[in-house]
A and B are shown apart, each in its own frame.
Chain A
């Protein structure tokens, strides 16, 4: 297990402290002008200890990623505007399906490519998809796929040789297996556009 770095401990402790203040009522007391000093100091000590012990499980990439205000604003926009809209649409769709006497379901598992650089982004998108009714992420895999490029054959080289040279090159591509209640298309790209909708763009703005 990798050892936790100091920035990771600081980030974890800050998050823990924020939740301590929210849940114990310290923040409300502070806003009212009657801060509970003892409560806040105890919370700080506890948060630092929790950060020391749990940072190595919690943070693997750049620790100060979300400390950038622009990213925080994007995160808030995602949580308040983009995601609830998708959530409501999908909810209505599945509710009407369940109440429809004919039960128009057409389930299946599709494989969908995802282009996100960060692990957090991938996890967040997968959880968003699972939380949306009608789709559940079943697994995430990383596979080598051939890079599709058309290259002009060089001089004195037959087209078959050029094609062989191209097909060797591969790149890492992440795939989700998604259980979908109404399979409209089995084509990975089109299914991905239908399932992810605006979610992937929102996540990419936060984490890439």
Chain B
């Protein structure tokens, strides 16, 4: 049991580490957002599921398991909304990547609308 918990937490630490490295290395804000979703999904979910397993089989506290899982569900529901809003707001405000994007259908269509 202890081994399963450890493996889950190590996996999530690996993904969180990769996400932080990505955030430092990526060239512009949009790709940095991409890298941060890495932390937000596997990084958090691994810890939450690991904690739930530990609470269920190590501590024998069902209430803690339920609360951790509800926490995970709300995290998953709310996180993409903020990510989407930040990205869209940045683009509409005029943030553009330094390195030219391969294709930019959104910008082309926005110009057409005006």
Q: How many residues of B contact A (CB 8 A)?
A: 45
Interface pair B25/A98, CB less than 8 Å apart: yes
Which residue in B15, B40, B106 is a CB contact (below 8 Å) of A177? B106
Nearest chain B CB to A193's CB is how many angstroms away? 17
Which residue in A98, A136, A141 is a CB contact (below 8 Å) of B38? A98
Interface pair B103/A27, CB less than 8 Å apart: no
Tell me whether A19 is interfacial, beta carbon within 8 Å: yes
Interface pair A131/B66, CB less than 8 Å apart: no
Interface pair B63/A28, CB less than 8 Å apart: yes
Tell me whether A126 is interfacial, beta carbon within 8 Å: yes
Interface pair A23/B106, CB less than 8 Å apart: no
Interface pair B70/A133, CB less than 8 Å apart: no
What mask results when residues 15 to 42 of chain B are scored 1 for a CB within 8 Å of chain A, else 0? 1001101100111101101110110111
Tell me whether A186 is interfacial, beta carbon within 8 Å: yes
Q: Tell me, in angstroms, the Cα distance from A87 to B37 when the chains sit together.
A: 11
Interface pair B105/A109, CB less than 8 Å apart: yes
Contacts of B104 in A (CB 8 A): 108-109
What mask results when residues 159 to 180 of chain A are scored 1 for a CB within 8 Å of chain B, else 0? 0000000000000000001010
Tell me whether A97 is interfacial, beta carbon within 8 Å: yes
Contacts of A22 in B (CB 8 A): 66-67, 70
Q: Tell me, in angstroms, the Cα distance from A103 to B28 when the chains sit together.
A: 13
Interface pair B67/A23, CB less than 8 Å apart: yes
Tell me whether B97 is interfacial, beta carbon within 8 Å: yes
Range of interface residues on chain A?
35 or more
Tell me whether A91 is interfacial, beta carbon within 8 Å: yes
Interface pair B38/A19, CB less than 8 Å apart: no
Where chain B touches its partner, the secondary structure class is helix
Which residue in A95, A110, A130, A135 is a CB contact (below 8 Å) of B18? A95
Q: Tell me, in angstroms, the Cα distance from A195 to B40 when the chains sit together.
A: 19
Which residue in A87, A111, A183 is a CB contact (below 8 Å) of B106? A111
Interface pair B37/A179, CB less than 8 Å apart: no
Tell me whether A137 is interfacial, beta carbon within 8 Å: yes
Interface pair A107/B80, CB less than 8 Å apart: no
Interface pair A95/B30, CB less than 8 Å apart: no
Within 8 A of A (CB), among B38-66: 38, 40-42, 62-63, 66
What is the interface of chain A, defined by CB distance below 8 A to chain B?
19, 22-23, 25, 27-28, 31, 87-88, 91, 94-99, 103, 105-111, 126-128, 130-139, 141, 177, 179, 181, 183, 186
What is the interface of chain B, defined by CB distance below 8 A to chain A?
14-15, 18-19, 21-22, 25-28, 30-31, 33-35, 37-38, 40-42, 62-63, 66-67, 70, 76-77, 79-81, 83-84, 87-88, 91, 97, 99, 101-107, 109
Taking A108-B102, A181-B31 as given, write out 17 further A-B residue pairs in contact, using a Cβ cutoff of 8 Å, ordered by the A residue number.
Answer: A19-B70, A23-B67, A28-B63, A97-B22, A108-B104, A109-B101, A109-B107, A110-B103, A126-B80, A130-B80, A131-B41, A131-B79, A131-B80, A138-B88, A141-B109, A177-B109, A183-B102
